[in-house]
């Protein structure tokens, strides 16, 4: 690997429930004068996948619980949105100062179970995480293979906070076509010292790189990373979730 090229996929327009995100991405890429090449990594924001899969909730249909109202009083957030987050929470990890840290059904630890109101057409609508982000990534990858005849990797990304650092970054919540972690354990470093703990979350690093070309306000819902030599294989985002016994923050 020498150089990496990261560029956004523009001009997809507003995604609607029932749309095929892979078809929309292929059309948008073609209009840019680009096409997928073998070995590309496609990073797709979770939001367009959730929209296409109908993972949307009209807040006008939500009746907040007492807990949601109590959290709302502290956080000054819409109690209906908090109620949706509580419903999407498999286990409450922490609930303090109006902040809800959830474990989702996928095993992800994140704020508000990934429920988000940004970049949506309606003010009273929130998006939920895809039910099976790995499956969503596999379907997009399969469609690209069928239409273009090349093998790419696909990452479904979302924005998560981190317990040790300020700021948020994009991480992989769904992967297809690549191993999400590169395990260096047992390999010697440049000085000949054998590494014993180093495992690099390459899928998260690629998700973060893709976000640099997408941004949060530019309506660029996907990015292509070209030139990265990843380990191909049937990976799963669950591999990026730390085992509970090793997680000091739960």
What's the pLDDT at 249? 65
Torsion of CA 75, 78, 80, 84, to 10 degrees: -60
**Location of structure tokens 């030139």:** 227
- State the average pLDDT for the chain: 92
pLDDT at 184 over 80: no
Give the residue ranges of DSSP H helices in the chain.
21-31, 46-52, 66-75, 79-87, 133-148, 202-214
Residue 193 buriedness (CB in 10 A; 0-12 / 13-18 / 19+): exposed
Tell me the average pLDDT across 87-103. Answer: 90
Q: Which of 230, 242, 130 is nearest to 177 (CA)?
A: 230
pTM, two decimal places: 0.93
Tell me the average pLDDT across 87-99. Answer: 90
Ordered by where they begin, the domains of the chain are: 5-54+132-241 (3.30.1330.100), 57-126 (3.90.1660.10)
Helix axis angle for 133-148 and 21-31, nearest 10°, is: 50
pLDDT at 135 over 90: yes
Residue 201 CB neighbour total at 10 angstroms:
16
pLDDT at 1 over 60: no
**Reduced to 3 states, what is the DSSP secondary structure of residue 12?**
coil
What's the pLDDT at 68? 94
**Location of structure tokens 């292929």:** 26
């Amino acid at each position: 690997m020498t150089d990496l090229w990261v560029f956004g996929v523009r001009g997809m327009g507003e995604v609607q429930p029932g749309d095929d995100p892979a078809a929309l991405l292929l059309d948008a890429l073609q209009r840019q004068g680009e096409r997928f090449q073998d070995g590309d990594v496609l990073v797709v924001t979770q939001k367009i996948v959730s929209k296409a899969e109908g993972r949307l909730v009209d807040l006008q249909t939500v009746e907040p619980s007492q807990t949601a109202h109590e959290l709302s009083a502290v956080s000054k957030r819409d109690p209906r949105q908090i109620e949706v987050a509580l419903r999407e929470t498999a286990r409450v990890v922490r609930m303090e100062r109006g902040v809800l840290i959830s474990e989702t059904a996928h095993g992800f630890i994140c704020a508000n179970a990934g429920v988000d109101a940004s970049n949506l057409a309606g003010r009273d609508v929130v998006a939920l995480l895809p039910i099976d982000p790995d499956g969503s990534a596999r379907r997009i990858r399969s469609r690209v293979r069928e239409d273009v005849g090349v093998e790419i990797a696909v990452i479904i990304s979302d924005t998560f906070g981190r317990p040790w650092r300020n700021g948020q970054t994009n991480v992989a919540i769904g992967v297809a076509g690549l191993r999400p972690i590169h395990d260096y354990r047992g390999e010697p470093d440049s000085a000949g010292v054998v590494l014993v703990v180093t495992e690099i979350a390459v899928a998260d690093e690629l998700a973060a790189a893709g976000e640099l070309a997408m941004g949060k306000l530019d309506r660029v819902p996907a990015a292509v990373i070209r030139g990265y030599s990843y380990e191909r294989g049937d990976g799963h985002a669950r591999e990026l979730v730390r085992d509970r016994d090793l997680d000091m923050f739960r």
